[in-house]
Amino acid sequence: MLLAGLSLYLLVTLGMLLAPNIDVLIGMRMLLTANSRAKINHETEGFVKILADANTDQILGVHMIGPSVGQLIGEYCVAMEFSASVEDVALTCHPHLTRSEAGRQTAMGVHGWTMQA
């Protein structure tokens, strides 16, 4: 389900995944306060969260809340269409000083990786 406005939920909620007993991996809620572009634009409210299958690493859903998240959701639409894994997104180069880095950092966080040491 895709909602208009500042909140976008791609396909599923956590409750929908837990019902059929899917082993769900939940990516950290990457707060937009950590995103450089969001800081520059004074639009740091919100977060990105990834829901993935713990066994296959396949992206099952994405939750995004905040200003301009509509610009970020397309990457995950394509990733889910082609059954991309969370690792696929995490290993894909994202341009620096853009909001898209929030998507990559969230994917990295699913496996405990960090962008900066």
Q: For residue range 4-18, list pLDDT tens digits in order.
A: 345 555 656 777 777
Say if residues 103 and 27 touch (Cβ distance below 8 Å): no
Name residue, tokens 């639009």: 43
Range of the domain at 66: 14-111
Q: What's the domain count of the chain?
A: 1
| Cβ–Cβ < 8 Å for 46, 69 | yes
Q: Which helix (H) or strand (E) holds 47?
A: strand 47-53
CATH code for the domain of 104:
3.30.390.30
Tell me what the pLDDT averaged over the chain comes to.
84
Contact in structure between 106 and 30 (CB atoms under 8 Å): yes
The catalytic residue among 42, 63, 94, 96 is 96
Does 4 reside within a domain? no
What would the mean pLDDT of 53-72 be, rounded to a whole number?
Answer: 89
Q: For this structure, is 63 an active site residue?
A: no
CA–CA dist 117, 46 (Å, integer): 23
Global confidence as pTM: 0.81
59 in a domain, yes or no?
yes
